[in-house]
Chains A and B, each alone.
Chain A
């Protein structure tokens, strides 16, 4: 074997190992979660796990308030982050003049580098009191405050990825649209955005993924009250998320106790949710392009 070939083989196997390692790690993490969490299903009956009361130190292990809390915060964050993030990405990529774009994009990316605990402090000391007075709520530590901060965290990721996707749309698409008499808005909405669809969707999923997995900020600003969010106004009341529960309780729990195993059950639920989100995103991104799209590209 010549040295050149040897080098090829080594590099190729390294790249392959790196690729497989991602799959192996996810598999190992899932295996670990199952190993620590499955005893929880044996120790606590399923109806008890679907109870509406979370009070582990007194033997109440109902997960519904926590799942509900995470969903409320994440949906709230998505409802804020997606329109704002997409609008920002479109503005930076399509509308802003070149010099503004050179400034705006790095600025947005710096925002993404803010540590979440700093945002949490900002939330506790500034945003929560402001929200309480503005919306006349009993307390400012609510799901909505969490959603606003999480949206603030998701937006930089979303903008950065979506802007790259929009930027990658070939210039002649836009030229063709303009040549057909489309206005600037029609070009963006009907041509550029659909052409960048898969990248934009990835951006949205990455943003939402950041929101649902975020722990520190939600623990600081959502109040952590394990109250089942049943009414629409729950967005403006305190809630407790799955991530905050694990973070707050894992440190003090006795290793191998029922409480410990149930915390891993929460981990499994989180894992399954993010798996479903990714799967759904994948189904849209990787669906077979329509004939018209194939011809165009």
Chain B
């Protein structure tokens, strides 16, 4: 999410030279801790605030206010020639951890599966690892199979998917091009299966999606309020789309 926060701050700073913004990375926990300690005016987080964090903030006399500023959905994509149209999270986990290596075992043709992923330091990779490969289990230490191809760009992934019927990949919904096939995903083995769209993501039906938050230590005022108003406005939400996330409206 740090890319998004940086892009916002950069554009806002260019338009409002009087506003002084600085963005620091480090993860959701770092941001919320900084807000609790009073060193940050806004905490960006890709997860909701935890109960104990809320208690800490209240102990410091703060009432954190939550804003959903964007949504992040990950689309699973294959070559249009691949007959597989739907997969469960458990199947995706088996595929990406290397337990299933042939499309036949996932209801497809007799072809080897070629795994594509973004580099391990991208937020998308980490989210996919936690939510899909480890199926959201904290104590699970499953990793991507060593055979996974780590491609440096979204373009690299879609280029390979476009021409290779063996390949499976994932990427932010905003990066998906029309010449690849998007897989419908179900959280439970029984279904229902959902395709990622702005609608299913907003309704929280599509399972590989999350809200992105900003927290302020109390009801925002002054410059912080101006900034947050701008964030949910059309221009900032346009940046959300450019970076491959789902805008909130």
Size range of the chain A interface in the assembly: 20 to 34
Give Cα distance in the complex from A237 to B164, angstroms.
15
One of B112, B141, B146, B151 near A53 (C-beta < 8 A):
B146
* Stretch among B113-121, B174-182, B212-220 lining the A interface: B113-121
- Tell me, yes or no, whether A132 is within 8 Å of chain B by CB: yes
Closest to A224 in B: B150
Give Cα distance in the complex from A129 to B114, angstroms.
14
B14: min CB distance to chain A, Å: 23
Give Cα distance in the complex from A40 to B50, angstroms.
34
Q: In the complex the two chains form, is B159's CB within 8 Å of A238's CB? A: no
Q: In the complex the two chains form, is A139's CB within 8 Å of B152's CB? A: no
Closest to B112 in A: A138
Please give, as numbers and ranges, the residues of chain A lying within 8 Å of B41 by CB-CB distance.
Answer: none
Give Cα distance in the complex from A253 to B119, angstroms.
12
Interface residues of A in 45-61 (CB under 8 A from B): 53, 55-58, 60
If A56-B120, A132-B164 touch, whether A227 touches B159 (CB-CB below 8 Å) is no
- Tell me, yes or no, whether A248 is within 8 Å of chain B by CB: yes
* Interface 1/0 per residue, B137-162 and A, CB below 8 Å: 00001011011111110001001100
Please give, as numbers and ranges, the residues of chain A lying within 8 Å of B149 by CB-CB distance.
Answer: 139, 141, 223-225, 238
Please give, as numbers and ranges, the residues of chain B lying within 8 Å of A252 by CB-CB distance.
Answer: 119, 121-122
- Tell me, yes or no, whether B166 is within 8 Å of chain A by CB: yes
Q: Report the tally of A-B residue pairs with Cβ distances under 8 A.
A: 72
Give Cα distance in the complex from A124 to B152, angstroms.
12
Please give, as numbers and ranges, the residues of chain A lying within 8 Å of B166 by CB-CB distance.
Answer: 138-139
- Tell me, yes or no, whether A125 is within 8 Å of chain B by CB: yes
One of B26, B146, B164 near A140 (C-beta < 8 A):
B164
Q: In the complex the two chains form, is A220's CB within 8 Å of B143's CB? A: no
- Tell me, yes or no, whether B167 is within 8 Å of chain A by CB: yes
Q: In the complex the two chains form, is A125's CB within 8 Å of B159's CB? A: yes
- Tell me, yes or no, whether A152 is within 8 Å of chain B by CB: no
Q: In the complex the two chains form, is B147's CB within 8 Å of A129's CB? A: no
Please give, as numbers and ranges, the residues of chain A lying within 8 Å of B81 by CB-CB distance.
Answer: none
If A55-B143, A57-B120, A141-B160 touch, whether A225 touches B167 (CB-CB below 8 Å) is no
Q: In the complex the two chains form, is B120's CB within 8 Å of A238's CB? A: no
Interface residues of A in 232-276 (CB under 8 A from B): 237-238, 240, 248-249, 252-254
B29: min CB distance to chain A, Å: 14
- Tell me, yes or no, whether B163 is within 8 Å of chain A by CB: yes
One of B121, B147, B164 near A249 (C-beta < 8 A):
B121
Q: In the complex the two chains form, is A248's CB within 8 Å of B150's CB? A: yes
Size range of the chain B interface in the assembly: 20 to 34
B223: min CB distance to chain A, Å: 29
- Tell me, yes or no, whether B126 is within 8 Å of chain A by CB: yes
Closest to A216 in B: B152
One of B143, B146, B164 near A225 (C-beta < 8 A):
B146
Q: In the complex the two chains form, is A228's CB within 8 Å of B146's CB? A: yes
Please give, as numbers and ranges, the residues of chain A lying within 8 Å of B126 by CB-CB distance.
Answer: 57
Q: In the complex the two chains form, is B159's CB within 8 Å of A124's CB? A: yes
- Tell me, yes or no, whether A219 is within 8 Å of chain B by CB: yes
Please give, as numbers and ranges, the residues of chain A lying within 8 Å of B141 by CB-CB distance.
Answer: 58
B177: min CB distance to chain A, Å: 14
- Tell me, yes or no, whether A207 is within 8 Å of chain B by CB: no
Of A53, A60, A238, A253, most buried by chain B (CB within 10 Å of CB) is A238
Closest to A249 in B: B121
Give Cα distance in the complex from A223 to B26, angstroms.
28
Q: In the complex the two chains form, is B121's CB within 8 Å of A139's CB? A: no
Q: In the complex the two chains form, is B119's CB within 8 Å of A249's CB? A: yes
B225: min CB distance to chain A, Å: 32
Residues of A within 8 A of B (CB): 53, 55-58, 60, 65, 124-125, 128-129, 132, 138-141, 219-220, 223-228, 237-238, 240, 248-249, 252-254
Please name 21 pairs of A and B residues whose Cβ atoms are closer than 8 Å in the assembled complex, sorted by A: A53-B143, A55-B144, A57-B126, A124-B156, A124-B160, A132-B163, A141-B149, A220-B156, A223-B149, A223-B150, A224-B119, A225-B146, A225-B147, A227-B147, A228-B146, A237-B147, A238-B149, A240-B150, A248-B119, A249-B120, A254-B26
Starting from the known contacts A138-B114, A227-B146, A238-B149, 12 additional A-B residue pairs (CB-CB under 8 Å) come to A60-B143, A124-B159, A132-B164, A138-B111, A139-B114, A139-B167, A220-B156, A223-B149, A224-B152, A225-B146, A228-B146, A249-B120
**Top-7 shortest CB links A-B:** A223-B149, A252-B121, A138-B112, A224-B150, A139-B114, A129-B163, A227-B146
